[in-house]
Amino acid sequence: MQLRMDPRFDRILLSLKKRIIVPFVIVLAIGTWVILCHAHYKSYWYGTIYRVQTTDFNLLHHALPQTLSRMIIEGRSDLVQKTLDSTFGLFGLVITDPSGETILWKTNKVYHAKSWHDKAVPELLKDVDEPYDLLTSPVELEPIYEHPSPRSTKARQLSAPKGMVLGRLYYLRADPPPFWKDVTNFAAGIWELSGAKRGYLYITISTIAFALVILLVIWLRQRGLELRQTEMLHIQKELDIRKKALEHLTQELAAQKTRKVWLEKEADEAYRRALGLKKSLERLRDSLMGVPSEEFVDGSTSSGFKVRPPVHPPSALLEEIESLLPGLSENASVLRHQAGVLSEYCSNLEKRQDEMQRIVDNAYSQALGLMEKNAAAATPAVPNGNGGNGAPTNGANGPPQNWIDMRPPS
């Protein structure tokens, strides 16, 4: 199925230059990259990491208070500290006295950078979202809180402590880094495929590939439109050349027809003159042959007058006249032959004119087909209201076309 583009979009593409298209695509790619990176940042830190920590806290709600209570009862402070440091600093564990005013133990390890450590003070522990567990004596196996799902934001209470409270166990979530700091860390180690950096790398590669594809599509479309425009200009020039050649042939044919008529008139006039001359010569011959021979006796007539003999004998004059008649007839035949040749030449010119007319009609049909093909992308075909002559009309939405209808009227 052929992809149809809006002619207005094609005109915009042709009007744009490289110094406009390339910066525009680069700015668009950068904006898209920032939006996608921010969406990935939200999804990773406030989605994946938050649910993972919720799962960890739910597991600790079920197991850690019992373990720490037994260690405190047995006086193993070293094991308590090792247990709190087993988080590697990814999140914080803090143990306070039963009132929450004094911190007894807390996680001392730091993973890359401090995030939750500023909240490990008695004044800020009260504002922590995750509820604290109570360390009791004797140890209670049933958990006090649990999360119904990894996506839950608050833990629900299952039971109340029954024994003596030894202390409070607080759970501190690690704060996600600021967005621009996270992106800066990705730029500093772009090939490190861990954590959020992997998503940033995939987004960067995809955005660059998308920008290159857009530039390639725009360049190919522009190239195709320029080639089509060049082809239309060549067809227009060819139509102009064919039109001029047709006009020249029409003028030459008219001149040859005029010359043919003139030659035919000259041939007829020469033939009439030859016939008139032949008749005059025949009358002269008859008049010369009709004089009685007895009137000439020793150069005198019956009246007694002496007649001067002719300079040339009658027979010699007649022979000379008769010798001129074939030449005149031949000249008349030559003129008629030339008139026939001119008539045949005019017929050939008419055939050439018809052939040129067919060539121009074919070129016009090709140009009209290309124009309709370009206009069909924008609007449906509009019925022609010119009685079927085939002259192109400008559509309501299509661009005006300066085509010349050179076809003969039907």
The span from the CA of 60 to the CA of 51, in Å, is 14
Q: How many CB atoms lie within 10 A of CB 132?
A: 20
Domain check: are 29 and 163 in the same one?
yes
Counting the structural domains of the chain, the total is: 2
Domain check: are 169 and 257 in the same one?
no
At residue 340 the predicted structure's pLDDT band, cuts being 50, 70 and 90, is confident
Q: How confident is the model at residue 17, as a pLDDT?
A: 62
* Rounded average pLDDT over 335-351: 79
At residue 290 the predicted structure's pLDDT band, cuts being 50, 70 and 90, is low
At residue 276 the predicted structure's pLDDT band, cuts being 50, 70 and 90, is confident
Among 169, 188, 207, identify where a domain stops.
188
Residue 367 belongs to some domain of the structure: yes
Q: How confident is the model at residue 39, as a pLDDT?
A: 94
Domain check: are 175 and 259 in the same one?
no
The better pLDDT of the pair 295, 244 is held by 244
Q: How confident is the model at residue 67, as a pLDDT?
A: 92
Position 340, amino acid: G
Residue 48 belongs to some domain of the structure: yes
Domain check: are 263 and 338 in the same one?
yes
The span from the CA of 197 to the CA of 205, in Å, is 12
Q: Is the sign of the CA dihedral 115, 118, 122, 127 positive or negative?
A: negative
Nearest to 69 by CA among 142, 145, 136, 131: 136
Name every residue whose Cβ is closer than 8 Å to that of residue 118 and which is 6 or more positions away in sequence: 124
Residue 304 belongs to some domain of the structure: no
Residue 146 belongs to some domain of the structure: yes
* Rounded average pLDDT over 210-238: 86
Residue 212 belongs to some domain of the structure: no
CA atoms within 13 A on the CB side of 338: 18
- Residue 3 pLDDT more than 70? no
- Residue 351 pLDDT more than 70? yes
Domain check: are 260 and 394 in the same one?
yes
Distances 385 to 63, 214, 368, 396 between C-alpha atoms, Å: 89, 42, 16, 14
Domain check: are 376 and 231 in the same one?
yes
Report residue 158 CA to chain centroid gap.
66
Q: How confident is the model at residue 317, as a pLDDT?
A: 53
Q: How confident is the model at residue 60, as a pLDDT?
A: 92
Give every strand in the sheet of 164-172, ordered side by side: 103-106, 92-96, 164-172, 133-137
Residue 205 belongs to some domain of the structure: no
At residue 357 the predicted structure's pLDDT band, cuts being 50, 70 and 90, is confident
Among 138, 167, 188, identify where a domain stops.
188
Report the range of poorest mean pLDDT among 121-135, 255-269, 349-363.
Answer: 349-363
- Residue 370 pLDDT more than 60? yes
Q: How confident is the model at residue 41, as a pLDDT?
A: 93
Domain check: are 62 and 166 in the same one?
yes
Q: How confident is the model at residue 117, as a pLDDT?
A: 83
Report the range of poorest mean pLDDT among 66-80, 247-261, 310-324.
Answer: 310-324
Roughly how many angstroms between the first and final C-alpha of the chain, as a whole number? 38
- Residue 153 pLDDT more than 70? yes
Domain check: are 234 and 100 in the same one?
no
The better pLDDT of the pair 42, 301 is held by 42
Residue 42 belongs to some domain of the structure: yes
At residue 10 the predicted structure's pLDDT band, cuts being 50, 70 and 90, is low
Domain check: are 244 and 175 in the same one?
no
* Rounded average pLDDT over 12-35: 79
Q: How confident is the model at residue 38, as a pLDDT?
A: 94
What tens digit of pLDDT does each residue of 76-105 get?
Answer: 889 999 999 998 888 999 999 998 888 999
User: For residue 379, which phi and psi values (nearest 5 degrees)?
Assistant: -130, 155
Among 188, 216, 236, identify where a domain stops.
188
Domain check: are 143 and 22 in the same one?
yes
Q: Is residue 194 within 8 Å of 126, Cβ to Cβ?
A: no
One-letter-per-residue 3-state SS of 213-269: HHHHHHHHHHHHHHHHHHHHHHHHHHHHHHHHHHHHHHHHHHHHHHHHHHHHHHHHH
- Token look-up 């009246």 returns 303
* Average pLDDT across the chain, whole number: 78
Domain check: are 122 and 241 in the same one?
no
Residue 65 belongs to some domain of the structure: yes
The span from the CA of 331 to the CA of 274, in Å, is 9
Q: How confident is the model at residue 68, as a pLDDT?
A: 92
- Residue 163 pLDDT more than 70? yes
pTM metric for this prediction: 0.54
The better pLDDT of the pair 80, 273 is held by 80
Domain check: are 145 and 238 in the same one?
no
* Rounded average pLDDT over 31-59: 92
Range of the domain at 181: 7-188
- Residue 350 pLDDT more than 50? yes
Name every residue whose Cβ is closer than 8 Å to that of residue 284 and which is 6 or more positions away in sequence: 321
The span from the CA of 113 to the CA of 119, in Å, is 14
The span from the CA of 369 to the CA of 359, in Å, is 15
